[in-house]
């Protein structure tokens, strides 16, 4: 039996280029979101995209993993600021997510820069979202102390 299952639902109407959809998450964590192909591949105009949602999921997951790893080593972070940039490109004429760039700035007592960078790299390998995309999407980590 799984630990947890999360649910999202999209209703799409119309063609890819002229249509639009709505995204709802079962938790109610955020209001219904409108999505369009042009908002995905051009300017977002206040709408989200699969890439933005994946970047958010990855940043959250990675922050949790890194916080846990540091804490288990007795170096509880005061603050971890994680950003993720998900790159969408055309490869062989098709859309493909090609790269996820994680960046973390940490305020962590009693750790030096080299040790923090090492834990940050190891954290990426233990992150469930990283592991879900590994082998298909390049993931990079840039880590530094505040």
Residue ranges per structural domain of the chain: 8-41, 50-145
CA–CA dist 113, 146 (Å, integer): 10
Bridge-based pairing state of the strands 33-35 and 20-25: antiparallel
What is 50-145's CATH number? 3.30.300.20
16: pLDDT confidence band, cut at 50, 70 and 90?
very high
pLDDT at 104: 98
pLDDT tens digits along 82-137: 999 999 999 999 999 999 999 999 999 999 999 999 999 999 999 999 999 999 99
What mean pLDDT do residues 134-142 have? 97
Q: Which runs of E-coded beta strand occur in the chain?
A: 8-13, 20-25, 33-35, 79-91, 94-107, 138-145
pLDDT at 47: 96
Angle among Cα 93, 94, 99 to the nearest 5 degrees reads 115
């Amino acid at each position: 039996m799984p630990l947890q299952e999360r649910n999202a639902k999209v209703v799409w109407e119309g063609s890819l280029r002229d249509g639009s959809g709505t995204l709802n998450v079962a938790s109610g964590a955020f209001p219904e979101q409108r999505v369009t192909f042009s908002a995905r591949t051009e300017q977002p105009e206040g709408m989200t995209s699969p890439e933005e949602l994946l970047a958010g999921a990855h940043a959250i997951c990675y922050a949790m993993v890194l916080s846990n790893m540091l804490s288990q080593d007795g170096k509880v972070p005061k603050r971890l600021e994680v950003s993720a940039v998900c790159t969408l490109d055309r490869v062989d004429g098709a859309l493909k997510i090609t790269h996820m760039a994680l960046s973390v700035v940490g305020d962590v007592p009693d750790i030096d820069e080299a040790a923090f960078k090492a834990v940050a790299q190891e954290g990426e390998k233990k992150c469930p979202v990283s592991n879900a995309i590994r082998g298909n999407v390049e993931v990079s980590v840039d880590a530094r102390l505040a």
